[in-house]
Amino acid sequence: MAKTETKNGRLEEQILGESNQLFKLSMASEFSEAALLLVQQAKRCIQIFSHDLEGPVYNHEEFIRALTKVAHYHRTSMVQILVRDTSVAVKEGHRLVALCQQFPSNIQVRRIAEDYKNNRETFLIADQVGFLFRNDPDRYLGKVNFNDAREAGKCLRLFDEAWERGGTVSDIRRLFI
């Protein structure tokens, strides 16, 4: 995995809730690294707003292990995922789909409502202060910061609004017969 670096530091040196440095990202591997680092350090909550569960970013065993730890860290910890389309992820056996099926009470998933289908951005919010953000789901260009409550709050407001209007995701639920 490529190491993301700026003149003032490296991504893997950032501390959630402490390091307020903006990193510009331009490759899927950088987004994957940033998502993993944010989730590994999170303790309370993770919110993901995604178009298709972004396999190159979220479909890695290490990321799934870290997300599982957050979901089980404390009884009040939560993982919430809003997704537009799960069909490809379900078809291809995305690890995040399997995790949602395994822990439906700890990891909640909703479908993005029609009102928000035109939103192009995708993002991950960690403990309400760290964020990973892309303007366009078709291009890996964006940013990450481990301690910017203001920017993370903007994403969180959009997430909470969309969450309230979101619908059920039936193709992720495992059927027991």
Question: DSSP labels for 117-176?
Answer: TT---EEEEETTTEEEEES-TTS--EEEESS-HHHHHHHHHHHHHHHHH-B--TTTSPP-
- 93-126, pLDDT tens digit by residue? 778 777 777 766 778 888 999 998 888 999 999 9
- 142-174, pLDDT tens digit by residue? 999 999 999 999 999 999 999 999 988 766 655
Mean pLDDT across 35-40 = 98
Burial class (CB in 10 A: 0-12, 13-18, 19+), 88: exposed
- Show the tokens assigned to 38: 């944010």
Domain boundaries defined on the chain: 22-165
Residue 15: CB atoms within 10 A of its CB come to: 12
Cα–Cα distance for residue pair 88/13, rounded to 1 Å: 34
CATH architecture of structural domain 22-165: 2-Layer Sandwich (3.30)
* Helix/strand/coil percent split, the chain, to 5: 40, 20, 40
Q: Is 78 helix (H, G, I), strand (E, B) or coil?
A: strand
